[in-house]
Amino acid sequence: MSYFKTAILLAGMTALFMGVGYLIGGSSGALIALAVAAATNVFAYWNSDKMVLSMYGAQEVDARSAPDLVRMVADLAGNAQLPMPKVYIMDNPQPNAFATGRNPENAAVAVTTGLMQSLSREELAGVIAHELAHVKNHDTLLMTITATIAGAISMLAQFGMFFGGGNREGENNNGGLGIIGSILMMILAPFAAMLVQMAISRSREYAADDLGARICGQPAWLASALAKIENAAHQVPNYEAERAPATAHMFIINPLTGQGMDNLFATHPSTQNRIAALQQLAAKLGIRPPQPAAAPARRGLWGGRGPWG
């Protein structure tokens, strides 16, 4: 997604924020909402990674506490020409992962214990490459700020409905908006913010799948991982994500529910569509899927010289 489109989307969400503020408090409310939106963006820029990692109880690991995982991340980051991100593990049985951070120099990759236990080394490499692709594409900052503003719009709209949704300046000359129009705005504003958030999320997942497959060098690894994670997401609950559904879009697969089709209300594209796109990429690049019978049992992903060699 281009920076221009990103700026337009964020500007639209800020305008929604101001619109709700206007309905609550008139011109003064709009100005206050603009100030709050700016402060929210600044706060999210500097602290979003710490907030999300803390929310999921993620623990940072290093070459001594998780040597294989850290070595794999380092090798893949080198392939992607990225600085080495911090590596975190979340004690969660659901296989999943996400990346966060305001830029590649301050990025972090977090994986669950369930992911490490249920995937092969090749599949794990595909997932990590996908998350590094988000870092390289600067998705992590965009999605966190978008989620923060969307959440703030919803909270402000609920506040407005609680206090009646009217503004004193315009209650007699608001062009027919009135209390009914105000209530509709209170409902539609967070809904519109949600649609923008989800639209960004779906587009970024396809881009990260494509780049991630190129980083690890084998689209089939990521495709296989997506299928396994999607299946587990239906069976293994992620209670932290259930308590904070606004962060669901950050994961490689929706940790709340699986999605059966691409639609306007899905935080992630259809997993089947993502796998099909990866298969098309492999065909385009002339990469044949690996044959399990020919794969050595305990060799590194790059002929014994990689992170597991």
Binding site for Zn(2+): residue ranges? 130, 134, 205
Task: Please give the structure tokens belonging to residue 156.
Answer: 């402000």
For residue 61, what are the β-bridge partners? 87
User: Among residues 131, 169, 171, 242, which one is catalytic?
Assistant: 131
Whether residue 136 contacts residue 104, with contact meaning beta carbons closer than 8 Å, is answered with yes
* CA–CA distance, 101 with 202 (Å, rounded to integer): 19
Residue 153, SS3 per DSSP: helix
82: left (phi over 0), alpha (psi -120 to 50) or beta: beta
Annotated binding site: 130, 134, 205
Whether residue 233 contacts residue 258, with contact meaning beta carbons closer than 8 Å, is answered with yes
Please report the beta strands in the chain, taking only residues with DSSP state E, as ranges in sequence order.
Answer: 59-61, 86-90, 97-100, 108-112
Cβ-based neighbours of 94, under 8 Å, separated by 6 or more: 112, 114, 232, 233, 236, 237, 238, 255
Task: Please give the structure tokens belonging to residue 78.
Answer: 């080198």
For residue 183, what are the β-bridge partners? none
The torsion angles phi and psi of 217, rounded to 5 degrees, stand at 90, 0
Is 131 assigned a catalytic role?
yes
Helical (H) or strand (E) element with 115: helix 113-118
Cβ-based neighbours of 159, under 8 Å, separated by 6 or more: 24
Cβ-based neighbours of 203, under 8 Å, separated by 6 or more: 1
Residue 228's nearest CA partner among 265, 192, 275 is 275
Catalytic residues, by residue number, are: 131
